[in-house]
Amino acid sequence: MSTQPKQPKQPTQLMQPTPPTYSSPIILGIESATSRVGCAIGTPLGILAARESNKPRQHAESLVPQIAEILDEAALSFTDIDALAVDVGPGLYTGLRVGITTAITMAYALDKSLVALTSLELVAHAIRSPEHSYEQIDVVIDARRGEVFHAAFTSALKPISEATVAKPEDLAKKLAQEVPNTCLVGDGVEAYQAIFAQAGLSTNNATIYPSAETSVELAVAAVLANKTTEPAKVRPLYLRGPDAQPIVVPTRS
Amino acid sequence: MTVTASAPTDAPKATQVLGIETSCDETAAAVVESGSVLRSSVVSSQVELHALYGGVVPEVASRAHLDLIIPVVSAALAEAGQQLTDIDAIAATHGPGLVGALLVGVSAAKSLALVCDVPFVAVNHLEAHLYAAFLEDADLQLPMLVLLVSGGHTMLVLMQGQLRYRVLGATLDDAAGEAFDKVARVIGLGYPGGPAIDRLSTQGDPCAVAFPRALAKQGWDFSFSGLKTAVANHVRKNPNVARADVAASFQEAVVEVLVEKARRAAREFGVGAICLAGGVAANSRLRARTAEVCAADGLRAVIPSRAMCTDNAAMVAAVGWHRLQACGSASLSTGASPSLSLLN
Ligand SMILES: [Zn+2]
């Protein structure tokens, strides 16, 4: 990336004629917790450029080139960025690590702070239907191996529960008893639709994935509220211990 | 041919390469100038973490790499007295190795390269081992024969010139280091097995048990699985056998096969030097025997320090410099290549 000052291009999502400068802070958001990988750059006025791809196991191949592309498209250089945002999970471990490594390394190199967001809050905040009459929002993300990641939010998006990992059957039973009128959302609902439907829960919402655009929106607010983290302190939210099986053939050298 | 002399004569400024290595259970970063001048080398070993499980656990390794990558990179820069702005290229191992572990190093290196606007170089871990010796002697003459022995690999490589080599032979079953780990388990030593057997062998008789020397006199390939089974059978039939004698006799069998084959290859291909590389090259008996045989045959023994034999990022930075000169930078869409082989 060149560090020379560039003239901003027309941001696509601004409603008014383009102002001559961007509003601050400028955030680079990185998302890689699910089978999708993406990034976005934006300001309090909106998203300037974004990419997302859905090629399984191609997170590492896709992400850094995507970031180069959106900076070019937004006519910005790395030095223009005020902070980075990253989804720390829970999610698919390898994808998560690619995104977090990229975010913390870039933040370290740029000496910028980071905003760490959970995949569950990113999905909750992406719900854009104010007319719904649900009691609460339950985000359910596919954790593979027959499990889901879960967290509950009020309809005003305040977190109610910590992020946990659960069997979909157990979660469905608990929610059906406690909050039958909940808004279930996330790719875990799609993956275990029959189980949630059988428990009498509504599974009609479109699947929402955590996205880099949402992370930029949330990070703008966090940066303005001074809620940032040092890059070296960011840790993934795994929610499960590592499989403790040593490889049969040790490859250490 | 010297490495430093092959640098472009019109380039007054030396090229600083930051290397990153995360292929298995060491998180490492290093700064190397012009392919052979070591500025810094930081290795954070996870061996104690994996010892709890008796072997490398891929998910544990990947998690540790992510936790360690920034501290290790910044320590390597600090030790070299440099800033990121002083670095001219970033090299990282992209294979072979554990996919989740490799992805941490590759992602970090590509991110640094993009932010700092410098080339990214993707390095083959096996090729990196071949270059470790140059960091301690930049004037090494080629061709030379390299015995690359580690937990995952056992190869006899004829290094003909810079980035030019021929793999003469490789293991048909277990790697040498793998045999050490398995035998250590059989005789009740902890993980990692290599250093434990090396230590115990000093108290044993290497001639106590005549373990088989598979393929010692034929071809260039290796086989250690029969030896490992022979040790297991011997211990089962002789439960009261001295463990130190078993360790020393096993080690002697491995070392004899490795060194005899290298010695024969040196003669056959008319090469004047045998070089050790890889984690098993830290073994005391292998080092001593290689030196003896080379002295007897009038060959040069190139035996790097133990730190250069085991996984490190200095060797990655060294190859990164050679690759950058020869092939230019790699694409930022490079991923991990867990089963990458050493191509000629
Ligand atoms: Zn190695």
For residue B107, count CB atoms less than 10 angstroms from its CB and return exposed for 0-12, middle for 13-18, buried for 19 or more.
buried
Residue A40 belongs to some domain of the structure? yes
DSSP result, B165-191: EEEEEEBSSS-HHHHHHHHHHHTT--S
- Looking at the fold, whether A53 and A109 belong to one and the same domain comes out as yes
Residue A251 belongs to some domain of the structure? no
Q: Where in chain B is the domain with CATH 3.30.420.40?
A: 11-132+309-327, 141-303
Decide if A251 and B98 are in contact by the 8 Å CB cutoff. yes
Closest A-chain CA to B60: A242
Of residues A1, A60, A67, nearest to B336 (C-beta): A60
Res A130 pLDDT > 80: no
CA distance B286 to B291: 9
Q: What pLDDT score does A21 carry?
A: 54
CA distance B286 to B293: 11
Give the ipTM: 0.93
CA distance B207 to B198: 15
pTM of the shown model: 0.91
- Confidence bin at B50 (pLDDT 50/70/90): confident
- Looking at the fold, whether A55 and A38 belong to one and the same domain comes out as yes
Which domain covers residue A157, as residue numbers? 127-198
Residue A22 belongs to some domain of the structure? no
Residue A7 belongs to some domain of the structure? no
Residue A133 belongs to some domain of the structure? yes
Give me the architecture of the B141-303 domain, per CATH: 2-Layer Sandwich (3.30)
If DSSP codes are grouped into helix, strand and coil, which group holds residue B207? coil
Decide if B56 and A246 are in contact by the 8 Å CB cutoff. yes
Q: How many CA atoms lie within 13 A of A44 on its CB side?
A: 9
Closest B-chain CA to A108: B70
Q: Which CATH number fits domain B11-132+309-327: 3.65.10.10, 3.40.50.510, 3.30.420.40, 3.30.930.10?
A: 3.30.420.40
Residues of B with Cβ-Cβ distance to A61 under 8 angstroms: 333-335
Best interface-test mutation with A: which of B56, B59, B74 has the largest number of A CBs within 10 A?
B59
Q: What is the pLDDT of residues A4-42, one digit of tens each?
A: 444 444 444 445 545 435 589 999 999 999 999 999 999
Q: What pLDDT score does B10 carry?
A: 52
For residue B132, what is the DSSP state? G
CA distance A177 to A57: 38
Decide if A253 and B279 are in contact by the 8 Å CB cutoff. yes
Residue A17 belongs to some domain of the structure? no
B183 touches chain A (CB under 8 A): no
Q: What is the pLDDT of residues B297-323, one digit of tens each?
A: 999 999 999 999 999 999 999 999 999
B66 touches chain A (CB under 8 A): yes
- Looking at the fold, whether A71 and A177 belong to one and the same domain comes out as no
Residue A73 belongs to some domain of the structure? yes
Total count of domains within chain A: 2
B150 touches chain A (CB under 8 A): yes
For residue B17, what is the DSSP state? E
Contact B322, B163 (CB under 8 A): yes
Decide if B56 and A94 are in contact by the 8 Å CB cutoff. no
Residues of B with Cβ-Cβ distance to A106 under 8 angstroms: 111, 114-115
Q: In the numeric block, which tokens belong to residue A135?
A: 């009691």
- Looking at the fold, whether A113 and A139 belong to one and the same domain comes out as no
- Looking at the fold, whether A107 and A181 belong to one and the same domain comes out as no
If DSSP codes are grouped into helix, strand and coil, which group holds residue B247? helix
Q: Which residues of A touch B (CB under 8 A)?
A: 1-3, 58-65, 67-68, 78, 93-94, 97-98, 100-102, 104-106, 108-110, 231-232, 235-236, 238, 242-247, 249-253
For residue B242, count CB atoms less than 10 angstroms from its CB and return exposed for 0-12, middle for 13-18, buried for 19 or more.
middle
Which one, of B1, B130, B89, B54, lies nearest residue B317 by Cα?
B89
Q: In the numeric block, which tokens belong to residue A121?
A: 């809050």
Give me the amino acid identity at A26. I
Decide if B334 and A61 are in contact by the 8 Å CB cutoff. yes
- Looking at the fold, whether A166 and A132 belong to one and the same domain comes out as yes
Residue A63 belongs to some domain of the structure? yes
- Looking at the fold, whether A187 and A171 belong to one and the same domain comes out as yes
Best interface-test mutation with A: which of B66, B124, B127 has the largest number of A CBs within 10 A?
B66
Averaged pLDDT for residues B224-249 = 96
Q: What is the pLDDT of residues A146-170, one digit of tens each?
A: 999 999 999 889 999 999 999 999 9
Q: How far is the CA of B129 from the centre of ligand 1 (A)?
A: 7
Residues of B with Cβ-Cβ distance to A63 under 8 angstroms: 107
Q: What is the domain-level CATH number for residue A149?
A: 3.30.420.40
